[in-house]
Amino acid sequence: MTSAYSKIEYKFIILLPIINAISTVLTDYFNDGSINIGQIRAFIILSYSFYFILSGKIIQNSLSKILLFTLIYFFILVLYSSNFSYSLQLYLKYFIATFFFFIGNYFGKNPNFINDITKSILIMLFLYLFNFVISNIFGLGFTSYKGVENQLYFGVSGVNLAKHISVLLLLFPILNIYKQNFFWLTLSKVLFFGGIIFILFAFKRSAILTLTLGYLVYFFIMRDLKSLKNILIFSLVLLFISPLIIDQISDNFNARTEAIYLNDSENLDKQARFTEVQEVTQNVQENGIIYFLFGSELFNSMDLFNSERMLHTDYMTILSGSGIIGFFLFFFFYLKMYIKSSIKYFKQEKYFYKTFHAVTCSLIVSLIILGFAGNIHAIEPRGTIFLFLGILYGSKFNYRYFKK
């Protein structure tokens, strides 16, 4: 461990995924207007981020410069919001999630860090699944969808927790290339299948797409016997347990049929993400060059469009609120991350290098997919994604942890 940070600071960073998990599953149990665990979590991370910046710990590279510029640009736009306090509140959530990249990038220089943080990710997933079990034992929180015959409880986080879990499952190839003792190896396998079952029971389309396309990208890049073997084992286990879960999955699928097949105007109105694209692009075309370049009312779309419903896709939020400049910066980071990962890892011969590149690409895909579900206003799962993008870009390796 370097002298640039203390053991206490290092342990705090290792605990961040667990802190985020506890906050996610407990925050909505608190009454509106009262101080809740989510606000305490945000205050702690924001305080640490200011300390982190003032300590000069942001590593200067092209990716960190893009993110810093974007954060500053968005903050300047928030200053012009007609509802500054509301826009600032949402901006701070965006800031915290994005800032995890700098944390991962910095601490990833410690060759032991990625091995330590992956154990916290397993605990994070355990807490999510434990919350699901407890919620069903005591009937806590929200059920899934209207029309589902055998309702399951998903806690106060609801079925949206499936999006968090889909991202965690995309990290498992990293866990699999590290040496693990029997306990962690067994736990990782149990949690992986538990996460899959949760996603199928929740039947959240964005989570299913994130997991499916993320792993398709991963397997396309890897294209080796190990990956093929993992697919075969997973398929066989899923087939073996299918009699236990197929009725519940079918029930959820049938209840979501109307939302999946957008075949009439009433349904399109329910899925207003489609109509908001038309509304935003029309605004961009009609409101002049200033709006086209810089947008208006960033993170305050309800006032801009005189609506009780905020924009529900990240892309329309960014385009409308920050203009084509913000829209470009938003996607430019993804492109730059892919290029940097390709240069650093793809041509390396060792298996774990290729794995890191494949996971990086699957995480970028997950960000793109979750952007359609309106993920920019939440700390999780963007925080976990940016944490690991920072780690994967800045990692130093302790080879004794890797499987031979």
Q: What is the pLDDT of residues 145-189, one digit of tens each?
A: 766 667 888 999 888 999 999 999 999 998 888 777 888 888 998
Identity of the residue numbered 269:
D
What's the start-to-end Cα distance of the chain, in Å?
A: 24
Residue 306, burial from CB neighbour count under 10 angstroms (0-12, 13-18, 19+): exposed
Tell me the pLDDT of the chain averaged across its residues: 86
Amino acid (1-letter code) at residue 312: H
Give the tens place of pLDDT for each residue, 30-80: 877 778 899 999 999 999 999 999 999 999 999 999 999 999 999 999 999
Q: Is 153 helix (H, G, I), strand (E, B) or coil?
A: strand
- How far is residue 315's CA from residue 335's CA, in Å, rounded to a whole number? 15
Find, among 164, 171, 198, the residue nearest to 379 by Cα: 164
Residue-level pLDDT at 149 = 67
Above 70 in pLDDT, residue 244? no
Residue 258 has pLDDT above 60, yes or no: no
* Cα distance between residue 316 and residue 323, in whole Å: 10
Is 176 in contact with 163 (CB distance < 8 Å)? Answer: no
Residue predicted with more confidence, 283 or 259: 283
Residue 317's nearest CA partner among 74, 38, 24 is 74
Q: Is the pLDDT of residue 20 over 70?
A: yes
Total length of the chain: 404
Task: Work out the pLDDT band at 233, boundaries 50, 70, 90.
Answer: confident
Give the pLDDT mean for 369-374.
89
d(CA 197, CA 12): 31
Q: Express each pLDDT in 290-314 by its tens digit.
A: 999 999 999 988 766 666 677 878 9
pLDDT band at 364 (very low <50, low <70, confident <90, very high): very high
* Distance separating alpha carbons of residues 117 and 20, to the nearest angstrom: 13
Question: What are the boundaries of each domain within the chain?
Answer: 7-401
Q: Is 143 helix (H, G, I), strand (E, B) or coil?
A: strand
- Per-residue pLDDT band for 2 (boundaries 50, 70, 90) equals very low
Residue found under tokens 């370049």: 293
pLDDT of residue 383: 96
Which of these, 209, 222, 176, lies nearest to 361 by C-alpha position? 222
- 48-57 in b/e form (b: 16+ CB < 10 A) is bbeebeeeeb
**Do residues 271 and 373 touch, judged by C-beta distance below 8 A?**
no
Average pLDDT over residues 87-107: 96
Q: What does the block give as tokens for 74?
A: 């968005």
Q: What is the residue whose two structure tokens read 């106060």?
A: 156
